Amino acid sequence: MANQTHEPVVRSKGPGSSRAGKARSWAVTHWAGLAACAVAVPLSFLVHLLVPSIPVMTTAVVLGVLSANIPGLSTLVAGPLQKGLGFAGKKLMRVGIVLLGLKLSIVDVLDLGWLTFVVVVAIVLLAFAGTYLLGKAFKLPGDQPLLIATGFSICGASAIGAMSAVRRSKDEDTVIPVALVTLCGTLAIAVLPLLMGPLGLGPEAFGQWVGASVHDVGQVVATAQTAGASALAIAIVIKLTRVLTLAPMVAAAGIISRRSQGTGSEHAGLKLPPIIPGFIIGFVALVAVRSIFEVPVELLDAATIVQDIVLAAALFGLGSAVRIRQLFASKGASILMALCAWALIAGLGYAGVLLLQL
């Protein structure tokens, strides 16, 4: 009887083991950067607790920038921490944008009255167009003019993250606008309260000015609270009215991106960017939930805490990609441009307040 040779049995791995392997690989490459975020976020909250005038998000960005520019730490940031920090800067930012929708109720916006709504939207559009043209005039590269215009006119780093996602902007085009909007927003916290008296603004008018011209929600709170509860209340509602323009602006950018990338043989086979990203749909859905239903205060408070945590982690991740020398490239053109844009939106906001007082 002839000897029979038996081929070794090779068992194919099922999809479950494949997914488990990918999950382990992802954890190995990302855990260090996410662990750094887990350290930076509580530290940001602690700084805010000790110095309430400094927003958590501002501290998170500053910590990220410091980590990327201090010798020794910068080597870790560019090496084993890079993957996790990059994940935080992109993916966690989108989670924070979705949760931002729960802060906004259409009912609150309608309570402002049609004239205030029109003025606020006009300020957003004029600030966007003016800042974009400034970016082009200063010859900032890539998507930086668009991203800076989005951040300054709508809602700071969150808007930059949303616009960069739909535009698929390069990392270097994203981190500089985030650093600049943080710099100018921090400047507003220090400068605007000093101008309240000389400009003859009462608490409510000051709140309108802050809500119409300061970039990030946290920066608005830190600035407006110096004039009392009434200023803070009106500032938040006007600021969130600006946030309402985020979805249509990003959708418009998505349409333009698809048209520009969908023509020409050089773009054949490329996956086109979505008209409206999924996280913007989530943002709009939560705005609708907040506007239609009576959301329990406890749920809103919990969502705010989660949003603050994920946005702080995201901004730490984005800040860690900023190199100080980049800000001073081309003889500091980006910083000078940002200061001009900051003065522009502050001037437009003040003009809007005067118009509403007529």
pLDDT tens string 140-154: 999 999 999 999 999
Please check the confidence at residue 18 and state whether its pLDDT lies above 80: no
Please check the confidence at residue 327 and state whether its pLDDT lies above 80: no
Residues whose CB is less than 8 angstroms from the CB of residue 60 and which lie 6 or more positions away in sequence, other chains included = 40, 41, 44, 311, 312, 313, 315, 316, 319
Please check the confidence at residue 264 and state whether its pLDDT lies above 60: no
Q: What is the structure's pLDDT at 217?
A: 86
Name the more confident of 331 and 36: 36
Q: What integer is the mean pLDDT of 82-111?
A: 91
Task: Dig out the tokens for 4 from the structure.
Answer: 């029979």
- Taking the C-alpha atoms of residue 184 and residue 215, their distance in angstroms, rounded to an integer, is 8
pLDDT in tens, 101-128: 998 888 888 888 999 999 999 999 999 9
Name the more confident of 255 and 8: 255
- Taking the C-alpha atoms of residue 311 and residue 40, their distance in angstroms, rounded to an integer, is 12
Backbone angles phi, psi at 144, to 5 degrees: -60, -45
Q: What integer is the mean pLDDT of 341-348?
A: 96
- Taking the C-alpha atoms of residue 115 and residue 358, their distance in angstroms, rounded to an integer, is 11
- Residue pair 263/239 in contact (Cβ under 8 Å)? The answer is no
- Taking the C-alpha atoms of residue 352 and residue 358, their distance in angstroms, rounded to an integer, is 10
What SS3 string covers the chain?
CCCCCCCCCCCCCCHHHHHHHHHHHHHHHHHHHHHHHHHHHHHHHHHHHHCCCCCHHHHHHHHHHHHHHCCCHHHHHHCCCHHHHHHHHHHHHHHHHHHHHHHCCHHHHHHCCHHHHHHHHHHHHHHHHHHHHHHHHCCCCCCHHHHHHHHHHHHHHHHHHHHHHHHCCCHHHHHHHHHHHHHHHHHHHHHHHHHCCCCCCCHHHHHHHHHHHCCCHHHHHHHHHHHCHHHHHHHHHHHHHHHCCHHHHHHHHHHHHHHHHCCCHHHCCCCCCCCCCHHHHHHHHHHHHHHHCCCCHHHHHHHHHHHHHHHHHHHHHHHCCCCHHHHCHHHHHHHHHHHHHHHHHHHHHHHHHHHHCC
| Residue in 161, 231, 144 with CA at minimum distance from that of residue 196 | 231
- Taking the C-alpha atoms of residue 258 and residue 267, their distance in angstroms, rounded to an integer, is 11
R_g of the chain, CA atoms, integer Å:
23
Q: What is the structure's pLDDT at 17?
A: 64
- Residue pair 237/211 in contact (Cβ under 8 Å)? The answer is yes
Q: What is the structure's pLDDT at 110?
A: 86
Percent of all residues in the chain with a pLDDT value above 90, rounded to a whole number: 59
Q: How confident is the model at residue 309 (pLDDT cuts 50, 70, 90)?
A: very high
Q: How confident is the model at residue 265 (pLDDT cuts 50, 70, 90)?
A: very low
Please check the confidence at residue 321 and state whether its pLDDT lies above 70: yes
- Residue pair 181/215 in contact (Cβ under 8 Å)? The answer is yes
